[in-house]
Amino acid sequence: MNRAGLVAAALGVAAATAASGASDRGVTRMASARADVARIIAGSGADVAVAFRSLDGSDELLIQPDVEFHAASTMKVPVMVELFRRAQAGQLKLDDRVPVTNEFHSIVDGSPFKLEPDVDSDAAVYTHVGGELSYRELCEAMITSSSNLAANILIEQLGAKAIQAATDALGARGMHVLRGVEDTKAFEKGLNNTTTARALLTLMTAIAEGKAGDKASTQEMIGILERQKFNDRIPAGLPPGTKVAHKTGEITGIQHDAAIVFAPKPFVLVVLVRGLDDAKKSAAMTAEIARTLYAASQPPPAKRQRFARERE
């Protein structure tokens, strides 16, 4: 081999060694992060599932990813996905107006029930009962302020089976949408909306990567998720100013958050929690998990500009 060939070969080996070293360091960081997250969870006494993956696929951490949890309001994400799928297919327009009603029917026996504004996180939609709101307005309320009334109206309009079919089509088979919110008879019979951390990771990744619809649809979904008003969980563990598109879910003893984090090296993080009655402690734990995984997954400051350029 001539001298030029030897130099080229040496440079190739050096580059491969550097890449291998960087990869090894990444593996070491994530292994350390896994141990740290496990300690955080053990110290909480809660049952916790975590699903983390960078959008470039280079980092992943899964803890109980396929364990089933009550979905709480995270099931509103697939409702949004199906709504935008229908709009993209021309089956409805997001600015079409629909009646705002407060009467729904149990999946158990069809008996009617209604929602109470004092146990809903958004009372504003109730002021429109008897009138109309657009699909877009209902979706905004359902996601950003987690309106149960808006969610139930959309589920009645779209159908739980269609929502489930759209969810399955994206590969998120661990998410099960059976019904709307506050169907007490269904709850008593154990007929609940459920999810796994992996299913939510799959859904949020599909939105982030533009696979849950066309570019305009997925960008609008991300914009709605970015306007989420409850930010004491995953966003609280991130550096100030970090853009986060996420959906929370909470009922008694259950606190979840599923997020697309637009860090220098973007990632999706899902944290599902049950068994903690103190929502503030649960939120603090979720924030600490987010802080740990952010620190482990992000490139050194000197390399962050390169990651930003590569995403443009």
Q: What is the pLDDT of residues 289-306, one digit of tens each?
A: 999 999 999 988 755 555
Task: Say what the pLDDT of residue 11 is.
Answer: 36
Q: What is the mean pLDDT of the chain?
A: 90
pLDDT reading at 116 higher than 80: yes
pLDDT in tens, 240-260: 999 999 999 999 999 999 999
Percent of the chain past pLDDT 70, that is, above it, reads: 88
Task: Say what the pLDDT of residue 28 is.
Answer: 85
* Residue 241 is assigned to a structural domain of this protein: yes
- Are residues 134 and 95 in contact, defined by beta-carbon separation less than 8 angstroms? yes
* Residue 22 is assigned to a structural domain of this protein: no
Domain residues for 152? Answer: 28-311
* Residue 182 is assigned to a structural domain of this protein: yes
pLDDT reading at 6 higher than 70: no
Task: Say what the pLDDT of residue 2 is.
Answer: 45
Q: Specify the range with the lowest mean pLDDT, choosing from 110-119, 135-144, 219-228.
A: 110-119
Task: Say what the pLDDT of residue 303 is.
Answer: 58
pLDDT in tens, 78-87: 999 999 999 9
Nearest CA among 256, 72, 294 for reference residue 180: 72
Task: Say what the pLDDT of residue 17 is.
Answer: 40
* Residue 10 is assigned to a structural domain of this protein: no
Task: Say what the pLDDT of residue 15 is.
Answer: 39
CATH number at residue 110: 3.40.710.10
pLDDT reading at 22 higher than 70: no
pLDDT reading at 239 higher than 90: yes
State the average pLDDT over residues 263-291: 97
Task: Say what the pLDDT of residue 25 is.
Answer: 61
* Residue 175 is assigned to a structural domain of this protein: yes
* Count of domains for the chain: 1
State the average pLDDT over residues 175-190: 95
* Residue 218 is assigned to a structural domain of this protein: yes
Nearest CA among 262, 301, 299, 255 for reference residue 278: 255
User: What whole-number distance in Å separates Cα of residue 179 and Cα of residue 9?
Assistant: 62
* Residue 228 is assigned to a structural domain of this protein: yes
